[in-house]
A = this chain, B = another copy of it.
């Protein structure tokens, strides 16, 4: 996985156990995916304005270790083509100081138009074609 986004844990992301709340990893992964897409010329926010919605249809996440306040980490992103209308992202969350994998994820998505019908814009289609 060559695409990486750097992060640092913010205290408000931690819950009463003093560790990053499980739901927040979802935020990290989403931001990394959108940065990946943006780097490849796909603007998630603009697509939403154009009534084309990229949507997650399945997520699998394995929590290995917990991030704590102050931790610096990166999220790596690797695109995977699943089928004609489905694409996925392999993602890992890696703590920087020891390169420990904190979380493994596979997030599968598709793209729908204003009517909720499957519609893969060419730039998405190409993006996942070229990466296989």
Contact = CB atoms under 8 A, between A and B. Distances in A.
Contacts of A129: none
Interface string A35-58: 000100001110011000101111
Interface string A76-117: 000000000000000000000000000000000000000000
Contacts of A19: 53
Interface string A1-44: 00000000011101111110111101100110010001000011
Contacts of A66: 55
A131 interface: no
A122 interface: no
Contacts of A11: 15-16, 30-31, 34, 44-45
